[in-house]
Amino acid sequence: MSSNSLFVDNEGTSIQMVLRDQDENPVNLTGASETMFIFQPPSGTNVEKVASIFGSPTDGILQYIVEPDTLNVIGEWQMQARIQLPTGKWTSSISKFHIKSNL
C-alpha cells in the first residue's frame, strides 16, 4: 500500500497496491475483468471497492481513490486485492494499515 498516513473521513486519497506473483514479479493485469480492493475495518465487516489499474497493466499496480464514508472508523484495518484475469481469479496477500484520528 502506498499511502503513509490515512485519517478518518479522508476523501480523495490514493491507495495503491503492487500485485506480485510467486517470483515477486509484477502481475500483468492486461485483460483483467475484475479489479477489487476488499477493506476490513476494525468491526470485521468487509467493504468491497472497485480498483483501477494505475499506469501500465504490466506494472501490476491497482489504485482506489477513497470515496466519502469509506474510511470512517479509527483503528487497525486490513485490505486485500482480488483480480479476475483470463487465466484465473486470485487474491493478494493481506496488508494492514491504521486509520488515525483528526484533531
Residue 2 pLDDT greater than 70, yes or no: no
At residue 28, does pLDDT exceed 60?
yes
CATH number for position 35: 2.60.40.3350
- On whether residue 45 sits in a domain, the answer given is yes
pTM above 0.85, yes or no: yes
**Which of 20, 17, 30 is CA-nearest to residue 90?**
20
* In a domain? residue 1: no
In a domain, 60, yes or no: yes
Tell me if 53 is assigned to some domain: yes
Confirm whether 30 is domain-assigned: yes
51 belongs to a structural domain: yes
Q: What is the pLDDT of residues 34-73, one digit of tens each?
A: 999 999 999 999 999 999 999 999 999 999 999 999 999 9
Number of domains present in the structure of the chain: 1
pLDDT at position 4 is: 60
The parent domain of residue 66 ranges over 6-100
In angstroms, rounded to a whole number, what is the distance separating the alpha carbons of residues 55 and 41? Answer: 28
Cα–Cα distance for residue pair 85/58, rounded to 1 Å: 13
Determine contact, residues 16/2, Cβ cutoff 8 Å. yes
